Each structure stands twice: as structure tokens, then as C-alpha cells.
Amino acid sequence: MSSAKRRINSTGRKKISQDKIDVRILSVVPGEPLKAKIGIDFESLNLPASAAISVEAYHRSTAMRFDCGTVGTKKIPEVLSLNELDQTGGVLFRIKVVDQEGQPGKILASADRVRPSIEGEHVDRRSIFPVDYRNLGQEVWRVDINDDAGPTLLLNSKIPALMHRIHENPLVAGALLPAAFRIVLLHIANNPSEDDEDGSGWKADWMRFCSEGLGVEDDPDELEDDEARDLWVDDVVRRYCETRDFVEKARQMAPGLTNG
């Protein structure tokens, strides 16, 4: 790992698309630092073999950089130990390919804000609300929101098969997921979007989900006051719950029981 910093020229860089990158957070014993594996395919970018590759993992104000050889001779560590990172939330990755010959220091290709998958998930699964596992003490779950990384649903790693319980039990899912969604939606509604111009940021992903997945057309950035934004949040959460049918599924699990 290298901590050296230098000024570099990024004019005219190519973009490394997400489908060319496989970053996974590995399962670790509670209390151990995060670990990751990464694979990158540069074949279609026509980059010089001598260009240097660097991978940076970051969360909040902490970061670690790994020198990973060149395009022609990749030397990516088998496992990236992220022991110097803030361990309390979601980690993002930044990849750069830097010229060493024609225009030394020029960034030839890059990818930023790369969200990792969790070990065991399908490589193409890119959730707008990724799940990670942490030792949360006596908290069952928590939402971590980073302006760069976006939101992460943190589940307590000390509770066995918690994600399985959420998937299998609509009462657990209905108690947890809408509340977690509401936290993220309130953050979006009360913090104007500063996503990339190409709409690649996490807030744009959430707004596409609200529009295409739930049929909510309003943009909270265009609403006039707090009351209107709160109503927007309520509407999104209501529609999300309707698509998941939490109450009806929970009723079907316990037929014949009443509130009395």
C-alpha cells in the first residue's frame, strides 16, 4: 500500500464501467477488520500495458490506496485488508489507471464510487440499498448514509441468519425495511441532490426506483416546503409497503389470531 500523493492530470480519461469491475466484501469474524477482493477487466479499453493501476478504498475521512501493478502485469493483492478504514459503514472503491510513459501522471481511465457486493451475492446484483454486517452491540440494525457512498443497511453480525429472517418473515421485514427506507428518503428530501451530471450517483438511482418502481413522479428538490417533502416521503413509503404486501403476508402466517 502506498500513501504518496502527487498532482495528476485527468484530462480526457476513459470511464471504467461497473460491469468490468468485481469488488466483494469478504465475510470476517466479528471484530476483525474488513477485507475485500477485486477483479478488473481492462481488455476493451485499449490502454497501454505500462499504465499503472491503483485501487483506493474509502469511507468518510479514511482511505487506503493499493498499488496493483500495470495493465500488462496486474499485481492486485489476493485479499485487500482494510484495517485502516472507518469500520462503521459502507465502503466505496476508486480505481485509476495512470500513464507512465507518453504523459506521465495523466489519468487514462478511472471509476469512482464503486459499490462492492457482499460475499455470496451474485456479481451483477447492484442494490440501491446494499446490506453489510457489523457488530452493532445491542442494536439489531442501523442505516449508515454517506454522501459519496450512499446508504447502507447495517445488520448486527452477532445475530445468526438475520438477513434470512428478514426475507422469510414478513412481520420482521415489515417492521424493519419501511423504517430503514424512511430514513434514506428523509435524507434525500432534506438534502438537495449533488449527483454527477450523467445521473450516476446514488440519489439518482433512488429517484429512478421511486419513479420507475413505485410510480412516484414528484422530485423532492422541487417541493416548496418541509410539509410537502414529508408528504412525499410518506407517499413513497406507502407505495413501497403496498408493493411488498407486508400486512397481508403477516396475516396469512397467523390465520385465526386476533388482536384480542
Report the alpha-carbon distance of residue 90 to residue 148 in Å, rounded.
10
More confident residue, 231 or 259: 231
Sheet of strand 141-146: strand arrangement: 131-134, 150-156, 141-146
pLDDT of residue 243: 94
Q: Which residues contact 187 (CB under 8 A, 6 or more apart)?
A: 145, 151
The SS3 of residue 108 is strand
Q: Which amino acid is at 166?
A: I
* Adjacent-strand bridge partners of 155: 133, 141
Q: How confident is the model at residue 119 (pLDDT cuts 50, 70, 90)?
A: low
- What residue spans of 125-257 are helical by DSSP H? 162-168, 170-190, 202-208, 226-244, 246-253
Helices (H), the chain: 162-168, 170-190, 202-208, 226-244, 246-253
Domains of the chain, first to last? 1-121 (2.60.40), 127-260 (no CATH)
Q: Among the listed ranges 88-92, 96-100, 160-164, 243-247, which one has the minimum average pLDDT value?
A: 88-92
- The reported pTM is 0.63
The alpha helices in 66-138, defined as continuous H runs, are: none
The CA distance from 122 to 142, in Å, is 24
Mean predicted confidence (pLDDT) in 139-163: 88
Q: What is the pLDDT of residues 32-68, one digit of tens each?
A: 788 899 999 998 899 999 999 999 999 878 899 999 9
Count of CB atoms situated within 10 Å of the CB of 97: 25
Q: How far apart are CA 143 and CA 123, in angstroms?
A: 23
